Structures are given as structure tokens and as C-alpha cells.
């Protein structure tokens, strides 16, 4: 972002400062060990109570409740309600989703190309793809497609080397805030329509935007202009959309470079856009809610990209924000300070998003369980045992070629028929539900294998399996196991007629 720091959206007069005091007292409770689903409910309920106009079905701009939120921010408010619906499955949120869109259509129609800011158009198109996924309502998909198509058809060209224009009434800048959301929307549309032409568009735009709008090491710039200048300012907003674009392309293609880009951007943000390790308060009116965008896509990096090393940092930020809520359970934009004064709904939304995304919080039973040598970084089988049939030699190895992350991965392979497995038994487990995850790449260079799977055994119930897609793409597989005897045997197994490769990396186990 930030619209090259254009202040057109500042006319609402929203002030994010503590100098204007109201009668709202603030509380600063002792730091809790973890928040709960009840806290997420309280945050969303308070946000709706303060900011949602149940008559117009639109959010107010600020705590004064004397004007409506702007067109583009309302798309994020809509997405916030979808977060709550996905977390709770509460039909009241589904009604709110549909009602807000009815207001959008009544005020602005189905064709949003009247708006001269292409990123405004794209935010609604992107949110509409999610609404379609949640509801199955074809209207959402059709509106997303028609507006995305218009941007792709009329607002992309090779001037400045490629990419999407920020303004459709005057082509003078190409910004991160339009290019990376367009990538995400195009990848989603590729999936929804099973049309790879959208994926090709997404990859082309991403390639250009990474080259023109980032430093290649995690910092995302704001804009490049036809006058030859580049605005190298950074923001939570742009860092987030870059992560979202990279993760979307990684999920779709399995290309590890995209995942590495997302990780670099997340680390750069944590190292450069935080205070006391907590996301900064960005005072510009367009950026006050940028933490919401960053956390939405960091969450996808954690969940869809399997990069769980960022989860505790996310939890710490959400906890700090919630600890600084006021007596109405509202949190403003500065998470390092108690909430007070007049503030915008855009500034208040990120804390709600954080709690919604983290769902039921992080009770102590949700901590990861230690696995010996989970990514085979020892360079050997340490911590694991292997099995192969009598009369057959072992068909596994550990090398540095094409590791999912780090320096090593384990693989099974032989040109002739073979069976091979590895196992690790975890003992001393508390009984209850566990989630086992691993990154696996299964490839058939000849006939299809008979069996390629992840296994959970000897846990007190029937063996459970997660069968692999044999397509030569790194994919994260998930399996839930209900332990009743204090142990779990974690395994991976191949039964092949020959020419089957199974690569394994980054195994995790979590108590739910």
C-alpha cells in the first residue's frame, strides 16, 4: 500500500490518538497465560455491538458512529465476519454476510469498475471468492469473476515491465496493494473455475511484482511510478498481501521458492515493523487496520504453508492486544498501549481478526510434542527405525536434494518392486486428541504404486492412514489420532511395483 500516501480517505476525520478522551474507561488486566474461544466470541460481539449498524447492514467508520466505513475497508469488515462464521458456524454470522452484500449491491451494484482505485475493486472480488466457498452462492463467484476479469483485461500491460495499474482513470503507478491481491484472487479463480489461464496470469504478475516491488529479501515496497521513482516504504498491509500471494502460489504449484518468499517476508516484518516484538501502530488512516491483512495471511503461512514457527509470535501479539482492551472489549490500533479515546473501526478490527483466526486460543495442551529428528536435519535416521521385508535390502536414504525445508529430507526409492517404511514411537503421551502432520512428495516414474501413506498405529485404536497424492508435488498431510494408551507409532510406508519415490520432511505432532 498506501495509495502512494494519498490522503483521499482521510476526509472521514478519523483520529487515532489518545488526546480526545471519552467516557470509556480502559482496563489493563494481568497478562493471561492464554485466551479462549470465549474471548474470541467477546471480541467479535463487542465489535459488532459498537460498529455494526443493524439498520443499514454496514459498519460505522469510528466510535462516534456518525458516518459509514469506506467502500474498500468494508470489504475487510465483510471478511472479518466470515472469519467469525468459519470459526463458530453461527448462522447469525451467515445472515450478516448475506445482509452486508445486499447493502453493497444496493449502494454500489455488482459492477465495481466505477471505482477508480483498482485495489478497492480487487478487495471485494477477493472477499467474494471466499463468500462463494463458504456459502455456495453463485452470485458471489460471478461478481468476483466479472470484476477480476475487467482488471486483468484492462489494467495490466507491459509498461514498466508488467503488472497491474493502481488507478484505472490515470495510469501513473503500479502498487503492491493491487498487484499482490490480484495474484491471490486469480489463484482462487483458477481453482474455482478449474481454469489454469488465471494461474498463469497470477504467476506472471507475481514474478514482475516481486522483481519491481520488493528487495528480494522480504521487504515489500509500496509503488513504482512512470516518472522512474519507487516508493520503498513498507507496511503491514503490503507485507501481508505479498505473503498471501506467495502462499497461494505455493499451495497451487508446490514450488518451494514461493514458500521461501513468504517466510522471508514474515521474518522481515517481525524484525522491522514491530515494537517490543509487537506489530507497530501505523497511524496513516489507510494503514491503521493493516495488521488485519498481515495476520490473515500470516495465518495461512502457518496453516497452509506448515510454518508453525510463527504461531507463538502470533499468539503473543494477539494476547498483548487483548490485554489492552477497554471496558467494552474493544482494542484500538496501538497494541502496546491501553485502549482509549476515539478510534476507527478499521483500527479496531485487527485484534478481533487475531482472536478469530486463533480460534480457541492456545491452552497448554495445544503445545507441539517433541519429535526426534523431525526434518532429518541430523543427516541420518537418528530417532527413527526402518522396516523392509526379509530378502530385500533397505530402500531409503537421506540427502540434501529437493528438501522441503532445511538441509535434508528422507526418501524411499528403487527401480524394482519394493516395500519400505520408517517409524518413530512416542511414549508418555497424555491421552486425548493429537494432530500429526508431515510434508510429503510422492512421485511415480513408472506404474502407479500400490500404497503410499502416513500411518498412526498402536495408540489404543484401529490403525489410521493418510494416503498420499502421487503427483510429484510437496504437500502437507494431516491426520488426527485419539490416543488412549499413552503412545503413538508414527510411520510412513510405500508398497511399489518400482520407480516410486516418496520424500518426507518436517513431521509435527500437536496435542489438541
Q: What is the pLDDT of residues 384-403, one digit of tens each?
A: 999 999 999 999 999 999 99
Predicted pLDDT of residue 368: 77
Tell me the C-alpha distance between 128 and 210, whole Å.
25
Most confident of 46-60, 429-443, 472-486: 46-60
Q: Would the pLDDT of 364 be above 60?
A: no
A 10 A CB-CB count for 42 gives 17
b/e 205-237 (16+ beta carbons within 10 angstroms → b): bbebbbebbbeeebbbbbbbeeeeeebebbbbb
Q: Would the pLDDT of 74 be above 60?
A: yes
Predicted pLDDT of residue 4: 37
A 10 A CB-CB count for 62 gives 23
Q: Would the pLDDT of 507 be above 90?
A: yes
Distances (CA, A) of 489 to 126, 409, 429, 460, 509: 42, 20, 11, 11, 11
Predicted pLDDT of residue 25: 31
The angle that helices 236-253 and 256-272 make with each other, rounded to 10 degrees, is 160
With cut-offs at 50, 70 and 90, classify the pLDDT of residue 367. Answer: low
The pLDDT of 274-301, averaged and rounded, is 95
Q: Among candidates 177, 294, 196, which has minimal Cα distance to 236?
A: 294
Q: Would the pLDDT of 117 be above 50?
A: yes
Q: Would the pLDDT of 296 be above 60?
A: yes
Q: Would the pLDDT of 15 be above 90?
A: no
Grid coordinates belonging to 432: 486425548
The pLDDT of 21-35, averaged and rounded, is 37
With cut-offs at 50, 70 and 90, classify the pLDDT of residue 349. Answer: very high
The pLDDT of 442-456, averaged and rounded, is 96
With cut-offs at 50, 70 and 90, classify the pLDDT of residue 31. Answer: very low
User: Is residue 336 a contact partner of residue 276, using CB atoms and an 8 Å limit?
Assistant: yes
The DSSP code for 30 is P
Predicted pLDDT of residue 359: 77
Predicted pLDDT of residue 434: 86
User: 378-382 contacts: CB < 8 A, separation 24 or more?
Assistant: 378/408, 379/407, 379/408, 381/410, 381/422
Predicted pLDDT of residue 380: 96
Q: Would the pLDDT of 20 be above 70?
A: no
Predicted pLDDT of residue 304: 87
Predicted pLDDT of residue 422: 98
Percent of the chain with pLDDT over 70: 92
Predicted pLDDT of residue 34: 55
Predicted pLDDT of residue 362: 37
Predicted pLDDT of residue 433: 80
User: Is residue 477 a contact partner of residue 437, using CB atoms and an 8 Å limit?
Assistant: yes
pLDDT digits (tens, 9 = 90+) for 463-487: 989 999 999 999 888 888 889 999 9
Q: Among candidates 258, 213, 266, 257, which has minimal Cα distance to 239?
A: 266
The DSSP code for 29 is P
pLDDT digits (tens, 9 = 90+) for 126-174: 999 999 998 889 999 999 999 999 999 999 999 999 999 999 999 999 9
Give this prediction's pTM: 0.69
Mean pLDDT over each residue of the chain, to the nearest integer: 90
Tell me the C-alpha distance between 325 and 25, whole Å.
10
Predicted pLDDT of residue 5: 35
The pLDDT of 447-459, averaged and rounded, is 95
Q: Would the pLDDT of 248 be above 90?
A: yes
Give the E-state strand segments of 51-192 in sequence order. 52-53, 58-59, 173-175
With cut-offs at 50, 70 and 90, classify the pLDDT of residue 53. Answer: very high
Distances (CA, A) of 247 to 279, 296, 402, 457, 511: 21, 12, 18, 32, 25
Q: Check the CA dihedral 201-203-208-214 and report its sign.
A: positive
- Alpha carbon of residue 321 to chain centroid: 19
Backbone φ/ψ region at 489: left (φ over 0), alpha (ψ -120 to 50), beta:
beta
pLDDT digits (tens, 9 = 90+) for 75-97: 999 999 999 998 888 999 999 99
Amino acid at each position: 500500500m498506501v495509495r502512494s500516501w494519498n490522503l483521499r480517505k482521510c476526509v472521514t476525520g478519523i483520529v487515532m490518538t489518545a488526546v480526545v478522551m471519552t467516557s470509556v474507561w480502559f482496563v489493563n488486566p494481568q497478562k493471561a497465560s492464554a485466551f479462549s474461544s470465549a474471548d474470541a466470541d467477546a471480541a467479535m460481539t463487542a465489535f459488532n455491538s459498537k460498529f455494526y449498524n443493524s439498520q443499514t447492514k454496514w459498519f460505522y467508520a469510528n466510535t462516534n458512529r456518525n458516518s459509514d466505513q469506506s467502500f474498500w475497508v468494508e470489504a475487510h469488515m465483510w471478511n472479518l465476519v466470515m472469519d467469525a462464521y468459519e470459526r463458530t458456524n453461527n448462522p447469525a454470522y451467515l445472515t450478516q454476510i448475506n445482509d452486508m452484500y445486499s447493502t453493497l449491491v444496493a449502494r454500489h451494484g455488482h459492477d465495481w469498475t466505477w471505482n477508480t482505485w483498482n485495489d478497492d475493486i480487487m478487495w471485494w472480488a477477493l472477499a467474494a471468492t471466499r463468500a462463494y466457498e463458504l456459502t455456495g452462492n453463485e452470485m458471489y463467484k460471478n461478481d468476483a469473476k466479472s470484476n477480476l476479469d475487467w482488471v486483468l483485461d484492462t489494467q495490466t500491460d507491459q509498461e514498466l515491465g508488467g503488472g497491474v495499474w493502481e488507478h484505472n482513470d490515470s495510469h501513473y503507478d503500479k502498487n503492491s496493494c493491487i498487484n499482490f491481491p490480484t495474484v491471490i484472487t486469480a489463484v482462487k479463480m483458477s481453482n474455482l473455475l478449474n481454469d489454469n489461464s488465471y494461474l498463469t496470469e497470477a504467476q506472471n504478475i507475481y514474478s514482475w511484482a516481486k522483481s519491481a516491488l520488493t528487495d528480494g529479501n522480504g521487504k515489500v515496497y509500496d509503488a513504482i511510478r512512470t516518472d522512474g521513482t519507487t516508493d520503498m516504504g513498507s507496511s503491514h498491509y503490503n507485507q501481508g498481501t505479498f505473503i498471501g500471494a506467495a502462499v497461494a502460489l505455493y499451495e497451487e504449484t508446490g514450488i518451494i521458492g514461493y514458500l521461501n518468499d513468504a517466510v522471508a517476508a514474515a521474518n522481515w516484518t517481525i524484525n522491522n515493523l514491530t515494537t517490543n516484538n509487537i506489530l507497530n501502530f501505523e497511524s496513516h488512516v489507510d494503514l491503521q487496520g493493516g495488521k488485519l491483512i498481515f495476520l490473515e495471511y500470516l495465518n495461512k503461512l502457518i496453516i497452509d504453508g506448515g510454518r508453525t514457527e510463527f504461531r507463538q509470535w502470533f499468539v503473543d501479539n494477539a494476547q498483548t492486544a487483548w490485554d489492552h482492551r477497554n471496558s467494552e472489549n474493544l482494542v484500538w490500533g496501538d497494541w502496546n498501549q491501553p485502549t482509549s479515546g476515539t478510534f476507527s473501526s478499521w483500527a479496531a478490527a485487527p485484534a478481533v481478526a487475531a482472536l478469530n483466526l486463533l480460534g480457541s486460543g492456545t491452552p497448554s495442551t495445544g503445545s507441539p510434542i517433541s519429535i526426534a529428528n523431525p526434518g532429518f536435519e541430523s543427516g541420518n535416521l537418528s530417532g527413527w527405525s526402518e522396516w523392509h521385508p526379509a530378502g530385500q535390502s533397505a530402500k531409503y536414504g537421506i540427502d540434501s536434494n529437493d528438501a522441503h525445508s532445511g538441509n535434508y529430507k528422507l526418501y524411499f526409492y528403487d527401480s524394482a518392486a519394493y516395500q519400505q517404511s520408517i517409524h518413530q514411537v512416542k511414549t508418555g503421551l497424555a491421552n486425548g486428541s493429537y494432530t500429526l502432520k508431515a510434508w510429503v512428495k510422492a512421485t511415480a516414474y513408472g506404474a502407479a504404486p500400490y500404497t503410499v501413506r502416513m500411518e498412526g498405529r498402536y495408540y489404543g485404536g484401529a490403525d489410521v492412514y493418510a494416503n498420499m497424492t502421487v503427483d510429484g508435488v510437496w504437500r502437507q498431510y494431516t491426520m488426527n489420532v485419539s490416543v488412549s494408551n499413552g503412545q503413538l507409532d508414527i510411520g510412513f510406508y510405500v508398497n511399489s511395483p518400482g520407480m516410486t519415490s516418496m520424500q518426507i520432511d518436517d513431521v509435527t505432532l500437536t496435542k489438541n
